[in-house]
A and B are shown apart, each in its own frame.
Chain A
Amino acid sequence: MHSNQLTEQGHLRHFLTIEGLKRPLLTEIMDRAEQFSGIGHRQVKKVPLLRGKTIVNLFFENSTRTRSTFELAAKRLSADVMNFNINTSATSKGESLLDTLHNLEAMHTDMFVVRHNQSGAAEFIAQHVAPHVSVINAGDGCHAHPTQAMLDMFTIRRHKQQFADLRVAIVGDILHSRVARSQIQALSTLGVGEIRVIGPQTLLPRDCHTMGVHVYHDMAAGLEDVDVVITLRLQLERMQGALLPSAREYYRCFGLTPEKLRYAKPDAIVMHPGPINRGVEIASSVADGPQSVILEQVTHGIAIRMAVMSMALGSQSDFYEAEA
């Protein structure tokens, strides 16, 4: 049971992971987002592309930013949106994930935007939805967060115009980060010159180099001459399970301070998927400083999500043509 996120015609049907997608498709997503990004500045912030479509935000894990940008993106495309915030305790009432899904499907939805704390959950849902329903992964466990990765690529492209000559460093908890996995895949697909990851061994996956990255345990060496610094959020529960001694020690070694940022190129941009732990993974002066593009990332999130949603629901015409 493999869900293929592409239709037979090669269009996006689901958007579950960056893995396996080709460069032209990623470029198409960014180009389309570029077209949509003007809409936010208009008097009437809507286009009628998805009028009459029903989109369900199915969030099994807390999120404010991602959920609201998905909601806003859907509304700007004129779709009808329902939000379901299902904490895992509700599913433990005996209703399985599939029960929940089929109940919502019975309301004739066209798209599920799914966030779940288990890796592979979006893939699982995509394998079990009706053929006309699209699934967008809004983050599954430690696996993938493809729209976040695409908005990051979009932000990088806006600032650096191209990818080939770039050196990008991702700092922090790679092991538990769905954002990092999707970013690494997107950066490789887009042909970035060098991808580095920086972190202690406890927060890096085993055989990390097989993901196509250079591994550093030291900020001075890892940040040297990079064009883009991406810091990841450190979940504070990582102090349990003996992964780290303390937030203070983490900040000392891997926190992005103005001093450490000086190792990077002078025009390097600083990114963060949010929400920020100030004084843990990044210093306030860096987060709010001139090199930071963190708030731009949020703005771009809406355009990227509009692009992905319209492309996936646009490909439904492939399905209906095939049916006819």
Chain B
Amino acid sequence: MRTVITGGRVIDPASQLDTQQSIYINDGKIVAISDHLADFYADLTIDADGMIVCPGLVDLSARLREPGQEHTATIDSETRAAVAGGITTLAVPPDTDPVIDNPAVVELIEDRAKKAGRVMVLTVGALTQKLDGELLAEMAALKQAGCVGVSNGHNAIKNSVVWRRALEYASTLDLTVFINAADPWLQKQGCVHEGTVSARLGLSGIPESAETIAVSRDLLLIEQCGVRAHFHNIASGRAVKMIREAQERGLPVTADVSAHHLHLCEHDLGNYDALSHVLPPLRSVRDREQLQQGLRDGVLQAIASHHQPLDADAKLGPFAETQPGISALETLLPLTLKLVEDDELDLLTALAALTCQPAEILGIDAGQLKIGSSADICIIDPDAHFECQPGKLISAGKNSPFAGWLFRHQAAYTLFQGKLVYQR
């Protein structure tokens, strides 16, 4: 199968390439990026005139609900949603049911993903067995089975001794540790950011210190253990500052932010809008500004979906009783590029945070347009002008707080391993 993408503005953030050329694909791989390639007879020509051609998006954290909650969503349904959002690689956290704490679960997920055949689904293994924070998981076996890192998901390891040993052991195996930083006691107490909105609505608050206490403890142990670590879903400006300092000290630490935390804040809760119920909580306007600044400064290297599809029932109830989470695969790209439209971010930085930088954090060969690499490509229509309608999301989870938002950018075509897996 030979494919050529013509007429597009080709942007490869990794090589700082921004050019008007064609991309030639043969046998699933990029064979040339040039004006013309002699003797190339394409089976498929994609006219990308007026569009942006960039690497397929790499998402650091998306919950697909399989195995364990197939009634909510499946690998098949969610990879369909992913490619509609231009995503060609994604990492799933270990908190499936059963937990990804043994190679059998890794194989199961990889098999299902291969059968779906449209996205590279990578697994992050468990740090502790059943994520219970007590006994270490067999990380060497998990690494051998293909896990790109280890994590304890949202289940904080409370015991500092176990946490230290887990980090040391992961370091021994040269595994990246993915951390959702939250002090379990301060976090469990509330459901929204502790501030003016929680005071007004009478909802119990999660103080900023729930995040900063955990980040500070984690940074000290990371330094001591010499492990490579990545913070997921940073939500407070204060934590950005702490991570910046750690990076300046030379710690091997990276971090990401969700697209929704870059756009929403505590005030978006309005009148108890359960669709804005998310963990970590949406914090203040100031926090949101500092997250955007952290992205511009490179302290936060990636924007992730932190996709959590939910049943409709999960959001029907008084706020505190609803489940946190946002269905975010399909809004990751439009929301990120909305920051470019709003002059908050330049296009190259935005695309890097969605492609080569998350790929580097995962330590995989993806997120780049280079000769010989897998043809995972996203073609973006910069003039799509559409209104977000959660009911029409391809994801099985329709839980998006962005109903009625107007977006300009949208994936028009997605190629995975040279194969056209999505066409708008």
Contacts and interface: CB of A to CB of B under 8 A. Distances in A.
Contacts of A123: 271-272
B198 A118 contact: no
A277 interface: no
B416 interface: no
A120 B200 CA distance: 11
A96 B202 contact: no
A118 B199 contact: no
B250 interface: no
Given A124-B272, A124-B317, A119 B207 contact: no
A190 to B, nearest CB: 18
Given A120-B272, A123-B271, A207 B196 contact: yes
A149 interface: no
A96 B272 contact: no
* Chain B interface helix/strand/loop/mixed: loop
B135 interface: no
A2 B271 contact: yes
Contacts of A124: 272, 317-319
Contact of A206 (B194, B317, B318, B321): B194
A62 B195 CA distance: 29
Contacts of B271: 2-3, 120, 123
A206 B272 contact: no
B205 interface: yes
Contact of A208 (B199, B319, B321): B199
Contacts of B273: 1
A276 interface: no
Nearest to B208: A206
A206 B195 contact: yes
Contacts of A144: 202
B195 A97 contact: no
B316 interface: yes
29 contacts: A1-B273, A2-B271, A19-B200, A96-B317, A118-B320, A119-B201, A119-B272, A119-B318, A119-B319, A120-B201, A120-B271, A120-B272, A120-B318, A120-B320, A123-B272, A124-B317, A124-B319, A141-B203, A142-B202, A143-B202, A144-B202, A178-B202, A181-B200, A205-B199, A206-B195, A207-B195, A207-B196, A207-B199, A211-B200
Given A3-B271, A98-B317, A118-B317, 13 more contacts: A96-B317, A97-B316, A97-B318, A120-B320, A124-B318, A124-B319, A140-B202, A141-B202, A142-B203, A181-B200, A181-B202, A210-B199, A211-B199
